[in-house]
Amino acid sequence: MSKATQINQVLHSYFEENKAVQLVLAKDMMPYFILAGVFEKDTKNGLPIINVLKRLDFKNQLVVIPFAIAERKTASTKWYFQRVKFKIEPKKTLKKENNCKR
């Protein structure tokens, strides 16, 4: 399972359990990510998750974590997670139908 998938699962669970929360600082989610095994430990107040978000942002792939938003300033970026407006559905498998008669 990819790190982005693990992060999305933790965030989905967090927002499901905390219905009143709309926005949370990315670094404040580190204890949840550690408990879920996404990261081993927190270094420098949220640096592991911030590095993942920066890397995805640099590669223009931030869309893989739909919860992530960036508050860009001239000197720095503050990272948040917000409640998504849509549900993340598990991938559906297509069933092949065989309508051919032989």
Strands 77-82 and 68-72: antiparallel
Q: Is residue 95 part of a domain?
A: no
Q: Is residue 33 part of a domain?
A: yes
Q: Which residues of the chain have pLDDT under 70?
A: 85-102
pTM: 0.79
The conformation of residue 91, written as its DSSP 8-state character, comes to: P
Give SS3 for 80.
strand
Q: Give the pLDDT score at 87.
A: 56
Contact 65, 7 (CB under 8 A): yes
Tokens 């640096």 belong to residue: 47
The conformation of residue 65, written as its DSSP 8-state character, comes to: S
Q: Is residue 101 part of a domain?
A: no
Count of domains for the chain: 1
**Host domain of residue 14:** 3-82
Q: Give the pLDDT score at 71.
A: 95
